[in-house]
Structure 1
């Protein structure tokens, strides 16, 4: 492998801002803040808007966009009064 082209990975704490869920993983992301963990380690902190703990797809709270009928049905309802002119 080539020398000097690979990033330097370190442990980083990611925090979900919507619910406070924290997880630690190795990353090369640049951070400005640090956080003191329960075990005494001080790690770089990266704040996230959403994670698998808060995203509707993963939590099962996702709403179906097609709940009132399909696209064809919506089209027919919208243009039902227009009809075909002969």
Structure 2
């Protein structure tokens, strides 16, 4: 196995699913924005915002929910409504 292949700068961050508001604590090397959130343990952690996570993804929830963050569905319907 190669040495020093993976980063060693893991830190605790709070991931926030923007589609349903669910938050969970995890470790990541990603640099979140400067927004901080106070977690249940009383400490403050940086927030990384997600469009979709396992709490809102149709595969994990069993619900067919349409997530459209950029208006792509409306553009598609408008383009093909004539046909």
- Could you state the TM-score of these two structures normalised by the residue count of structure 2? 0.64
Root mean square deviation of aligned Cα: 1.8
Per-residue deviation at 1:29?
0.5
Match for residue 34 of structure 1? 36
* Larger gyration radius, structure 1 or structure 2: 1
Q: Counterparts of 1:51 and 1:36 in 2: how far apart (Å)?
A: 21
What stretches of structure 2 of length at least 5 have no aligned partner?
Answer: 66-83
The 3-state SS of whatever aligns with 2:56 is coil
How many residue pairs get aligned? The number is: 61
What stretches of structure 1 of length at least 5 have no aligned partner?
Answer: 64-86
Find runs of 4+ consecutive structure 1 residues off by over 4 angstroms: none
- Could you state the TM-score of these two structures normalised by the residue count of structure 1? 0.62
